[in-house]
Structure 1
């Protein structure tokens, strides 16, 4: 029964994500869940840990801030409209209330004089610093002291065939304990399905930017490649890596150091590449077990489409 409730709420989340640019009616959202409108809001809050209104507002703002950073050629007004806000003034007010900074300050953090705290901290305990969104501003933290040019040189473009996946979502986002627990369950499922652990191809689908989204709210799905005809039952789900062109960059280091490489891929390599990200989450393909080796080896994948 619990899994059925979670499945219905995940349908609601997918609906919201697909319609963030539109005016979202709470009655329509409740209808998607197939729960009574009188009880839907309590069920959503119980499962997701925040109200429907808060979820929609947070996701719109997170999407908008990522656009401010990675789509510098688009005006703040256009980003406001594309994010479901009626005007740039309403957008600026909402951004400042949530993050503590205006859209202009987020785009130009070197002009910020005083540290500020927005609702993001009071609601989720997350301190937001615009400079964290720009990897080249923190030279001492670049992976293995590599320059941006080094990172650019490591990016290769690969054509992938479609691959079927068995997936399991992390209950608490990017929190390491939750991630490891999720992988332990999925790896065990794979062994029981006849896929030896050393033969399992392990991909994580990472949907959110942890510099913007609270860690426990970031959506993370562990996945292993499976045959198309394999049986998959709840709580595991079937998904697919779509065929297409992917930017791939290799990483070796500590798990907490991956963010700079990921941000550099988006903010430094992509704008010069002639491509833009396609509508598929960033993937991490794990090549070792960090708990055993003391470091992480992986490949970071971003699906591409032509500009």
Structure 2
């Protein structure tokens, strides 16, 4: 099963990095080193989804994310880029997942984006519930001023060693795998070590048990080895919105909401890259469970 997991991870990475291209079973199976027949069966066994369902879900989730945070891109440009050739097909598929048309979704975001909850409706269709605010936006902004230091920074390329996890409950075990790997190579512990979580999905558009998070360690140079479980990943150089402070895990959602609101209020646009967190301390070593964190959004 471990060897299958390595191959499926490689295939998932290929899919997620090529959502804008024409993906087909034969090519993806080749990447995972399977015959198309065996790949389809093993993919469903490990992920709980058929390959086609996974691809469509990822395309729709990516479109939802772009609708929410990239207001400068037209709806037609978004669905064409993700391979939907017909507006009615895209509209129908989007409504199946989120219960509203893409245009309605965009008007409601980002203000309600952080409150989108995927639910099973009575007829079995996946809908979207736009719940009430936990707090007013002005209260959130006041909290932000008091707790979150926000800056725009230029950072160089970052080379990472990464372990994929599916679902938030699997992140800590993934970090444990990464640390054991690093210990064997005398990379852990070391001074000024930075651990990073890279979010390849958003909890706002992806079910919690399917969110793909990479548990990462910052390296001095690019990782060359490729053993399947631990793989190289790069955060490209560029401009980032960085929100810094000391928080408990319960504060993380509020920090991300604040940062995306700040991004939109200051008219920045997110790059086609993934947001991430940099940890400068361990919450397990703090009496109140706090940790020093940088929340980072890549922008133009």
1:190-201 equivalent positions in 2, closer than 5 A: 190-194=182-186, 195-196=188-189, 199-201=192-194
Counterpart for residue 207 of structure 2:
214
Displacement of 1:231: 7.8
Give CA deviations for 1:134-183 in whole Å, capped at 9, x if unaligned: xxx543599x954387389832122323333222222x3222xx222222
- 142, 149, 158: which is aligned to 2:153? 158
Pick the structure with more helix per residue: 1
> Counterparts of 1:7 and 1:227 in 2: how far apart (Å)?
25
Quick check: 1:12–1:32 contact (8 Å CA) kept in 2? yes
1:1-307 equivalent positions in 2, closer than 5 A: 2-109=1-108, 128-130=128-130, 138-139=134-135, 145-147=140-142, 150=145, 154-170=149-165, 172-175=166-169, 178-194=170-186, 195-196=188-189, 199-228=192-221, 234=227, 235-270=229-264, 272-273=266-267, 275-293=268-286, 294-305=289-300
Displacement of 1:248: 1.1
> Counterparts of 2:79 and 2:143 in 1: how far apart (Å)?
30
Quick check: 1:80–1:86 contact (8 Å CA) kept in 2? yes
> CA 1:39 to 1:267, structure 2 compared with 1: closer, same or farther past 3 Å?
same
Displacement of 1:212: 0.8
TM (normalized to structure 1)?
Answer: 0.78
Displacement of 1:288: 2.1
> CA 1:224 to 1:75, structure 2 compared with 1: closer, same or farther past 3 Å?
closer
Structure 2 residue runs of 5 or longer lacking an equivalent are: none
> Counterparts of 1:243 and 1:292 in 2: how far apart (Å)?
31
Structure 1 residue runs of 5 or longer lacking an equivalent are: none
Let me know the Cα RMSD of the aligned residues.
Answer: 3.5
Displacement of 1:118: 5.3
Quick check: 2:144–2:255 contact (8 Å CA) kept in 1? no
> Counterparts of 2:137 and 2:245 in 1: how far apart (Å)?
14
> Counterparts of 2:74 and 2:223 in 1: how far apart (Å)?
47
Quick check: 1:206–1:221 contact (8 Å CA) kept in 2? yes
What secondary structure is seen at the aligned counterpart in 2 of 1:240?
Answer: strand
> Counterparts of 2:118 and 2:23 in 1: how far apart (Å)?
30
What secondary structure is seen at the aligned counterpart in 2 of 1:210?
Answer: coil
Count of residues in correspondence between the two structures: 289
Displacement of 1:247: 2.0
